[in-house]
Homo-oligomer: A and B are copies of this chain.
Amino acid sequence: MSVEQIARAARDAAAELAPLTRAAKDAALLALADALVEATETVLAANRRDVQRGRTEGLSETMLDRLALSAERVAAMADGLRDVAALPDPIGEVIRGYRLPNGLQVRQIRVPLGVVAIIYEARPNVTVDAAGLTLKSGNAVLLRGSSSARESNAALVEVLATAAEKAGLPAATIQLVPADSRDTVTELLHARGLVDVVIPRGGAGLIRHVVENAVVPVIETGVGNCHIYVDKAADHDMAEAITVNAKTSRPSVCNAAETLLVHRDLAEEFLPRILTALQAAGVTVHGDETIAAYDGVIPATDEDWAEEYLSLDMAVAVVDSIEAAEAHIRRWGTGHTEAIITESQSAAQHFVSHVDSAAVMVNASTRFTDGGEFGFGAEIGISTQKLHARGPMGLPELTSTTYVVTGDGHVR
């Protein structure tokens, strides 16, 4: 089937999915979970072929680790589907409702987006997570994974789609878009009128490619050059603990901190201890002129301020004021998450109202920007754009709304 045919089938499926009850969707999700566990061996066999091929083709060990599945990982994916079944159904929620002076009843009601396309890189668990979240929110999904995971993804989608059909859902509820050529991405990005949104999940290159080439609406996700600003009124212990946590607890994720900005007033006292603590945790520090004077610090260039390292590297600069910190963030940030460490209420308020990011942390680690941490129960990605959804996206972010207006023969 061509991508257009696949998308048309999804469009038709979406029309059937929109009016489904929560009970029908939850029953299907539980059936999907059971089918997945039952098919563990088939999935693992397909995954071994992907890993084998990846090794031959020279994939890095990190990539291979992301790609590799185990019986435990399959069971965890199934549990993820069961968790999604337990979440409230966003569809049908009345967001606003009121009566107009002329007696018309207006209700704004959550409805599915329709057809959601996800374009993603190596991890096969995204296949299952995305299928679960889109099903629960009443959407048809088009899954375009990476070619390195193509056998795993094909096996997973085969299991999920078959189980969905058995549970009474349309056959085209969950579909894989072939990963055999880049053209299938291009076709997805141009399927105007068939695809309601494309969500890219992956590195900066993938996201840029999608944004620059899409004719259908896109939600940008994930690039996080996150900053920590240590204000002159910061508690030094707290500043150290949060900085080390935000940088080192999981450096490869988008909510890890990449740049530390330190107010000049506490630089002399705070810098020696934070640099020591970072270096003791294995972090390579890239510093501005002041900081480069310390042992083991590499002088930073503009590229360091712009970089999302995703590694045990951190750029560190001294700033003269909170305004200078905010200006640095405006210039170099990606609008993901920034944190201020301060005991000053007015500094916290200034930072919150002058920093324009999806999330702003006051005396907390940047690592908390996460759907799970925010209590959403699940996450389809973290939006770094301002339209539609900003920050962690859960089920309500996979919906649109309709105005239902009820009258009694009303005319204008």
Task: Name A residues whose Cβ lies closer than 8 Å to a Cβ of B.
Answer: 15, 18-19, 98, 100, 104, 106, 108, 111, 113-114, 192, 196-197, 211-212, 215, 217-219, 235, 237-238, 241-242, 245-246, 249, 330, 348, 352-354, 356-365, 367-369, 373-375, 385-388, 390-392, 400-412
Q: B364–A241 contact, CB under 8 A?
A: no
Q: B385–A104 contact, CB under 8 A?
A: no
Q: A364–B405 contact, CB under 8 A?
A: yes
Q: Please measure, in the bound complex, the distance between the C-alpha atom of A369 and the C-alpha atom of B387, giving whole angstroms.
A: 22
**Which residues from chain B contact A249 at a C-beta distance below 8 Å?**
411-412
Q: A363–B406 contact, CB under 8 A?
A: yes
**Which residues from chain B contact A408 at a C-beta distance below 8 Å?**
363-364
**Which residues from chain B contact A111 at a C-beta distance below 8 Å?**
356
Q: Please measure, in the bound complex, the distance between the C-alpha atom of A139 and the C-alpha atom of B373, giving whole angstroms.
A: 31
Q: Please measure, in the bound complex, the distance between the C-alpha atom of A362 and the C-alpha atom of B408, giving whole angstroms.
A: 8
Q: Please measure, in the bound complex, the distance between the C-alpha atom of A405 and the C-alpha atom of B218, giving whole angstroms.
A: 26
Question: Taking CB as reference atom, which chain B residue is nearest A214?
Answer: B215
Q: B407–A241 contact, CB under 8 A?
A: no
Min distance, Cβ A141 to any Cβ of chain B, angstroms: 15
**Which residues from chain B contact A374 at a C-beta distance below 8 Å?**
100, 106, 403
**Which residues from chain B contact A237 at a C-beta distance below 8 Å?**
409
Question: Taking CB as reference atom, which chain B residue is nearest A219?
Answer: B387
**Top 9 A-B pairs ranked by shortest CB distance?**
A364-B407, A245-B411, A386-B400, A388-B388, A364-B410, A238-B409, A359-B403, A387-B388, A19-B353
Question: Taking CB as reference atom, which chain B residue is nearest A360?
Answer: B404
Q: Which of B212, B358, B406, B412 contacts A402 (CB 8 A)?
A: B358
Q: A104–B368 contact, CB under 8 A?
A: yes
Q: Please measure, in the bound complex, the distance between the C-alpha atom of A211 and the C-alpha atom of B111, giving whole angstroms.
A: 23
Knowing A373-B100, A410-B368 are in contact, say whether A402-B360 is a contact too (CB < 8 A).
yes
**Which residues from chain B contact A390 at a C-beta distance below 8 Å?**
400-403
**Which residues from chain B contact A361 at a C-beta distance below 8 Å?**
405-407
**Which residues from chain B contact A98 at a C-beta distance below 8 Å?**
375
Q: B211–A386 contact, CB under 8 A?
A: no
Q: Please measure, in the bound complex, the distance between the C-alpha atom of A19 and the C-alpha atom of B355, giving whole angstroms.
A: 10
Q: A15–B368 contact, CB under 8 A?
A: no
A sample of 9 cross-chain residue pairs with beta-carbon separation below 8 angstroms, ordered by A number, consists of A104-B364, A197-B386, A217-B385, A217-B386, A237-B409, A359-B402, A361-B405, A363-B406, A364-B405
Q: B362–A406 contact, CB under 8 A?
A: yes
**Which residues from chain B contact A217 at a C-beta distance below 8 Å?**
217-218, 385-387
Knowing A235-B409, A363-B410 are in contact, say whether A211-B192 is a contact too (CB < 8 A).
yes
Question: Taking CB as reference atom, which chain B residue is nearest A396?
Answer: B96
Min distance, Cβ A134 to any Cβ of chain B, angstroms: 14
Known A-B contacts: A106-B374, A360-B405. Give 7 more (CB < 8 A). Answer: A100-B373, A106-B375, A245-B412, A357-B402, A360-B402, A364-B411, A391-B401
Q: Please measure, in the bound complex, the distance between the C-alpha atom of A354 and the C-alpha atom of B352, giving whole angstroms.
A: 43
Min distance, Cβ A395 to any Cβ of chain B, angstroms: 14
Q: Which of A241, A401, A411 has the most CB of B within 10 A?
A: A411
**Which residues from chain B contact A357 at a C-beta distance below 8 Å?**
402
Q: A15–B356 contact, CB under 8 A?
A: yes
**Which residues from chain B contact A410 at a C-beta distance below 8 Å?**
242, 363-365, 368
Question: Taking CB as reference atom, which chain B residue is nearest A11?
Answer: B330
Q: B196–A365 contact, CB under 8 A?
A: no
Q: B411–A19 contact, CB under 8 A?
A: no
